[in-house]
Amino acid sequence: MAELSSRDRMIRSAVELISRNGVDATSFSEVIKHSGAPRGSIYHHFPGGKTELMVEAVRAAGAIITRRISSAAATGSTADVIEAVGDIWRLNLTRSDFAIGCPVIAGGLARASEPEVAEVSAEVMLGWQKLIESQLETAGYPAAQAKSMANLTITSVEGAVAVCQTTRSIEPLEQVIASLQGLSRSEARSN
């Protein structure tokens, strides 16, 4: 197991802090403290300043989730994809006492102060949409239904994560996963 570079440790910490507190509320000082990286090398590693660090963090976080969805889509059924996204957020929420949310949405909501970060979030999300859409089409959904179901999956799960954080309950997510599972079964039957 190779040691992570200072740069990578900073990105990793930024991902966690963004997931917890959002982009605007994540400062260099906190990233330094959390990562244990040296103060003096911030602008050496990230000449673009905070924006560059945040962009890298959202890109890295998005890639991890994309990979999870992708491997579930490759080997499994629609139910496996839904279960995979459910697992990601169930774990993050319960392990963090509902403090950790989706860093990609956090990036998207920071458009006013960090438009470049929001743009990365948009790209990542469109990637998720296409990925799930393809899986559904492979599973036999007509194009229009695949699009609609992929959209409902992404929006309801993202919304559920935020509602879980707000109400400090895992129920909204569990119910959404159950609804999506049920829906995927009945839509599969009707085609």
Length of the chain equals 191
**Which ranges in the chain belong to alpha helices (H)?**
6-21, 28-35, 42-45, 49-75, 78-95, 103-108, 115-138, 143-167, 171-190
CA quadruple 71, 152, 21, 87: dihedral positive or negative? negative
Comparison of 74 and 126: residue with beta carbon closer to a second copy: 126
Comparison of 106 and 177: residue with beta carbon closer to DNA: 106
Q: Coil, strand or helix: which one is 47?
A: coil
Footprint of a second copy on this chain (CB under 8 A)?
20-22, 24-25, 98-99, 101, 104-105, 107-109, 111-113, 118, 121-122, 125-126, 147-149, 151-152, 154-160, 162-163, 165-168, 171-172, 175-176, 178-179, 183
CB neighbourhood size of 175 (10 A): 12
Part in contact with DNA (CB under 7 A); list of ranges 27-35, 84-92, 136-144, 163-171: 27-35
Comparison of 53 and 164: residue with beta carbon closer to DNA: 53
Among 1, 2, 3, 5, binds DNA (CB under 7 A): 5
- Footprint of DNA (CB under 7 A): 5-6, 26-30, 37-45, 49-51
